[in-house]
A and B are shown apart, each in its own frame.
Chain A
Amino acid sequence: MKAAPFDYMRVASIDETCKALAEAGDDARLIAGGQTLVPLMAMRMARPSLLIDINGIEELTGIAVEGDELVIKACTRQADTLASDIVREACPLLADALSHVGHTQTRNRGTVGGSLCNADPSAEIPLIARTLDATMTARSAAGERRIAAADFFDFAMTTSLEPQECLTEVRFPIWRDPDTGHGFHEVSIRDSDFALAAAAAQATLDAAGNCTRLNVAIGGASPTAMRLGPVEAALTGTDLSDEAIKDASAVIADLVEPQGDVHANADYRRRVVRVMAIRAIASARDEAKE
């Protein structure tokens, strides 16, 4: 499983990256963590003629809070993000989901941006980005733009990034209300396998225990991570009782478009993603009450 031959270059800044992408044409790929790209290349399913290595670009690494946003630079390692107190404080849902991403060793190399750009329908980081309406910043030689999560994930394994664009950071909105809880649940066959179905939820309750704000999204059962608008609408204003959650979640079967594969067929994902959503919302409610 040796990759097809390619040329390799290292770049030291975002500007250099954009310049290299602009000059290279469609057959070049950026390599960050490589945890997904390198296996694809080993299987010769990806065959870029040029790899542009963006590891070690300082301006692409970092975690900070800016106003009401948690800003994570694209090449920040998943391991560093998981270990970060800033992330745990500002966005506990992301921290929780990260512990399910791969293994220790893959998190040591894998990056937050890499996972987002890979856009696997069952991946955790895209799911959190979608749940919280994160914003992605993309730069090219032509300039910079912000892309909302709803517009970033186009289809399975496909983002709306142009071939010459580089993702530079992701911005997660911070929910400041202290009566906010989160929930994350996924099913995988073995610990840390790709999720067969996953759900993430974040909820804010008022003093009476009613839900004033709820974001829920699922992964693994649609071409991209998917917000469950109808479920959110039905549950906002309720006390998020188990019964209310169960009733509201019944519509999920009609919202999702699961695919089958060797691990689970579509019916399994359709049924189980609902269970994940129920558990995630309940966990968010329970945590918000603490």
Chain B
Amino acid sequence: MDGDFKYVGQKRRVKEDRRFITGRGRYAADLRLPGMLHVAMVPSPYACAEIKGVDASAALAMPGVRYVLTGDELFEHINPLLSGLDLPHVKRVPLAHCRARYAGEWVCAVVAETRAIAEDAAELVEIDYDMLDHVIDPEEAIKPEAPLVHPEHGSNVLFDKTWTWGAVDEDFAAAAHSIEYRARWSRCSTIPIETFAVTASWDPGREVLDVWASIQMPKYPEQIARGLRMPVNAVNVHFDIDVGGSYGLKRGIRQTIIVGYLSRVLRAPVRFIEDRLENLSGGEMHGPDRIFDIEMAYDDDATIRSIRIHATDDAGCYPGRAPLQLGKPVSAIVGPYRIGSAQYRAMSVTTNKTSQEAVRGFGQAPTNFAIETGIDKIARTLGLDRDEVRRRNMVRADEFPWRIPSGSEYDSGDYHTVLDKVMKAAGWDDLLARRDALRAEGKLAGLGLSTCLEPSGGNSSFEPLFNPKNDTTTWMEACLIKVDMLGGVTATINTSTSGQGHETLVSVAVGETLGIDPDKIRAIHAESLDALPSNSPVGSRMAIMLGGAAAGAAKKIKQKMIDIAAHNFQLPSDRLVYEDGDVFVDGEPDRKMTWFEIVDIAHRKYHDMPLGSEPGLQANFTWEVPTGGALPAEDGTVQMYPCYAFEAHIPLVTIDRDTGQVEIHDYFIGHDCGTVINPDIVRGMTLGGIAHGIGAALYEKFEYDRETGQLLAGSFMDYLLPSSHEVPSVEIVKHSTPSPLTEFGQKGSGESGYLGAPAGVASAVNDALEPLGLHLDTLPMRVRDIERLINGRET
């Protein structure tokens, strides 16, 4: 399993890049259908208001306008959208129904012959609002006097549950010390450069709704069908649309329901491309917005005995899948550490802000940041080196598989070696010396350290954990491989791709298993009507699951070829050897059947096939996530994600004490994701993840005005993404502890960099502030926040 691969791990150009460099990507907005109509949304100007009436007459009178859809009309014809929580009284709707609950919420959808006309008409829709009180801050929302976002639910608390795993109270009592602190991860997300775009086209002849969308969503066709009250096999999602970045966010089910409904009513293709204003304020693509109150119990030697985490998360207005982002971190609730007991209180709160959606890591990055903040505090309090505290607490290489108090088993790892390697490559002592020299010059300089896990594989048992009525344990992925009559190999991807290089992944996985050059293997995206089941690229699962499914299908092909050859040699199959597509008799390399000969028999010479066998040469394999299939126990323990990647971040920063600006000078990361299938893809994920992490740590916040409830960061002038000037060059130091659970030993890497960078940058900034006796435990640490911390008390 480890080491000796022919194609896995080799440098190889990513197939998908070929179309991107020539401008031939096929994104949802590139598609044009005859008679296509365009949608623009009418947003609510108010954070909370009763909708008394809608007068669309002036809009409808405008030439080129075809329809104005209200929330009331849509509500009558659809099923409300699903939530990950059990909330019978909280209805999630694509267009505001009776009440607008956040500033920017889409109230009407205007349909016209061009987008420009739709926008012109949208300005003419008159809506009569009765303003109501709103609540923006989650801690305010919990108070009894707070205005209710969903009055029928009776409170603004959507979920509040505490699990206690192990002897937490006893461990706290027995420990020499404890610390208590608050860490705040402000509302941000991995907003992509492409907004959500969807075209739906109802074909009354076939009675099929075709959908082309910029999508990354589990069970998307199913949720479309459910929402529109159609059979699933009346929906055909075209997964071959290139998605311009998603990182979790592109769950545009509301947008899709709207255009799907409109297409059926208007019997024409209907397209909605969010403009950037719609996207940021009403696209429901904000991420975790979380307050952590944490206690850690530890001894004089820094051994951490127990941890209590109270996580309050502001889900915004409509809880879809996002509140489950409180659940996924249960899979690594103690980080990479041997902490023996843990208590976790997860509270999901609703406010009059746009809804939260899944973000890369599904809650793990904020949780890692919160835990790592405590590790550094313990080190400071005890006067120990930060790496030493981590060494003393990290799970040791000889202790895997390691079961954590919440029930997940960490499959494999060697955290100490990765830390050693990156500290050596970074020249830790030299960096400290550089830091100290900068300090001697009067500058603020800091060296950061974070050690974090990336749970991967997508065993999403937080679903039944957070909602026992949703007793589900199936998270599968599939692949169909066809070897055609002339010996070409085609493999299917049954979901969408948003930059992860799945075509390259599949061709390498199949090529490795069949011993064939991956460049000769074609990987295609299916349409949902002929797709096999998939749970889509979430939870850093595709290298594991799609790689596993592709390898599994390839193994069946391989076996069938062996069996055909065996039949023709009149020998038992175990006397034959398969190598690089040819099959020969063991010990007699001249007695061989070639790939093409076997393929020809399979397709054309049934008389030479084993008795009763299926003609042709095709196989599919559907794979359940390894370690999956068990519901949570009474106490909430359950195995979540199967494979655990590890990363250690070392940034060196300086801070301009007069302006609060942070500059990252050097950045090193040690990364272990087991076997790497394609080095360039994994490297890109890590570097991009660090860029996301720098954004979350220093620049990005969806700021709302408490008084008015308005989103203040509603364009790219105010929501600031890191550019090439803000993201430094990063040196990646690799290590590999393969997973025993996967085909090639691969673990996920789709969230790498992001899961540890905010913690690493925060560690560096706080190291820089330490000589001033200051610290900052709220992200983002913007120039204004740092400057005020340093200089603000004087004025």
Query: Residues of A at under 8 Å CB distance from B?
Result: 1-5, 43-44, 187, 189-194, 196, 262-265, 267-268, 270-272, 275
Contact = CB atoms under 8 A, between A and B. Distances in A.
A54 to B, nearest CB: 25
A187 B722 CA distance: 16
A82 to B, nearest CB: 18
Contacts of B573: none
User: Main secondary structure on chain A at its contact with chain B?
Assistant: loop
B277 A189 contact: no
A25 B235 CA distance: 54
Nearest to A185: B659
B699 A272 contact: no
Contacts of A262: 703, 712-713, 718
Among A191, A263, A267, chain B packs the most CB atoms within 10 A around the CB of: A263
B723 interface: yes
A275 B784 contact: no
A104 to B, nearest CB: 12
A265 B784 contact: yes
A267 B792 contact: yes
A272 B659 contact: yes
A2 B119 contact: yes
Contacts of B715: 43
Given A1-B275, A190-B699, A275-B658, A263 B784 contact: yes
B722 A190 contact: yes
Given A267-B792, A272-B787, A189 B782 contact: yes
A268 B659 CA distance: 8
Contacts of A5: 116, 120
A193 B715 CA distance: 14
Nearest to B276: A1
Among A196, A268, A275, chain B packs the most CB atoms within 10 A around the CB of: A268
Given A1-B276, A2-B119, A265-B784, 14 more contacts: A1-B277, A2-B116, A43-B277, A187-B659, A189-B661, A190-B699, A268-B660, A268-B783, A268-B784, A271-B658, A271-B787, A271-B791, A271-B795, A272-B787
B598 to A, nearest CB: 57
B791 A187 contact: no
User: Main secondary structure on chain B at its contact with chain A?
Assistant: loop
A89 B276 CA distance: 42
B-side interface size class: 20 to 34
A289 to B, nearest CB: 22
18 contacts: A1-B119, A1-B275, A2-B119, A5-B120, A43-B277, A187-B659, A189-B720, A189-B782, A189-B783, A190-B723, A191-B723, A262-B718, A263-B784, A265-B784, A268-B787, A270-B795, A271-B791, A271-B795
Interface string B750-789: 0000000000000000000000000000000011100110
Nearest to B277: A1
Contacts of B722: 190
A7 to B, nearest CB: 15
A263 B784 CA distance: 7
B119 A268 contact: no
A272 B277 contact: no
A84 B275 CA distance: 38
A132 B189 CA distance: 44
Nearest to B278: A1
Given A1-B276, A187-B783, A268-B788, A193 B659 contact: no
Given A271-B791, A271-B795, A189 B276 contact: no
B726 interface: yes
A267 B795 contact: yes
B19 interface: no
A264 B658 contact: no
A192 B784 CA distance: 17
Contact of A267 (B115, B718, B788): B788
B469 interface: no
B89 interface: no
B24 interface: no
A4 to B, nearest CB: 7
B632 to A, nearest CB: 42
